[in-house]
């Protein structure tokens, strides 16, 4: 049985993440990896500090960078590195810029594994993380022509709130909200 999870980047994910990076670059999607500078140990340090809100650069807010992995709970030994299927960014709060563009959550699924429900799953898991953070309502923005992302948002119960323009290229932007329930009680 497969178990999709969002986990904090760790040394064991290095090879899986580097494979994701190589695939993203080959697909011309490097822009989603703006915070990775070809040094995985540095990336671990920086993402860990960011999640704790330490050493924040101007304009940055505390943010969890989380990897999507599929963990087999039978504990079977794995051949090869654990694939990193995608990643999410879960920002703990908004600032003026994120209110306009970016919102609380960003997500990315590796190109070769798209169209299998992973986009829907990664947003569901990221929303669960926002519940742990105590957020009551979450903002997500996406380009209007990003039909995959629009569908992922609809399938997660997001409601279209407003439209705007991307500050990057002026493209039409959609703003969505998702109401967050309290985190499930563990027994």
- The residues that touch ligand COA, with contacts defined as CB under 6 A, are 32, 106-109, 114-120, 142, 146-149, 151-152
Smallest separation, CB 161 to ligand COA (Å): 14
Smallest separation, CB 142 to ligand COA (Å): 3
In terms of CB distance, is 90 or 118 closer to ligand COA? 118
Q: Kindly give, in sequence order, each residue whose CB lies less than 8 Å from that of residue 141, ignoring residues fewer than 6 positions away.
A: 101, 102, 103, 164, 173, 174, 175, 176
In terms of CB distance, is 47 or 120 closer to ligand COA? 120
- State how far the alpha carbon of 132 is from the alpha carbons of 1, 10, 182, in Å: 25, 21, 8
Q: Kindly give, in sequence order, each residue whose CB lies less than 8 Å from that of residue 131, ignoring residues fewer than 6 positions away.
A: 180, 181, 182, 183
> Which residue has the CB atom at the shortest distance from ligand COA?
119
- By residue count, the chain amounts to 187
Smallest separation, CB 85 to ligand COA (Å): 9
């Amino acid at each position: 049985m497969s178990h999709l999870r969002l986990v904090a980047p760790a040394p064991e994910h290095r090879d899986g993440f580097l494979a994701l990076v190589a695939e993203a670059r080959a697909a011309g999607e490097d822009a989603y990896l703006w915070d990775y500078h070809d040094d995985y140990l540095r990336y671990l340090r920086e993402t860990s500090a960011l999640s704790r809100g330490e050493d924040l650069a101007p304009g940055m807010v505390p943010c969890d960078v989380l990897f999507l992995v599929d963990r087999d709970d039978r504990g079977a030994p794995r051949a090869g590195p654990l694939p990193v299927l995608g990643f999410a960014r879960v920002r703990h709060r908004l600032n003026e810029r994120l209110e306009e563009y970016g919102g609380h959550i960003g997500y990315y699924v590796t190109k070769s594994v798209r169209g299998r429900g992973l986009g829907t799953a990664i947003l569901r898991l990221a929303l669960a993380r926002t519940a742990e953070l105590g957020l009551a309502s979450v903002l997500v923005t996406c380009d209007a022509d990003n039909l995959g992302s629009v569908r992922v948002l609809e399938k997660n119960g997001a409601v279209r709130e407003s439209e705007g323009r991307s500050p990057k290229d002026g493209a039409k932007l959609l703003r969505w909200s998702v109401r967050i329930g309290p985190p499930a009680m563990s027994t």
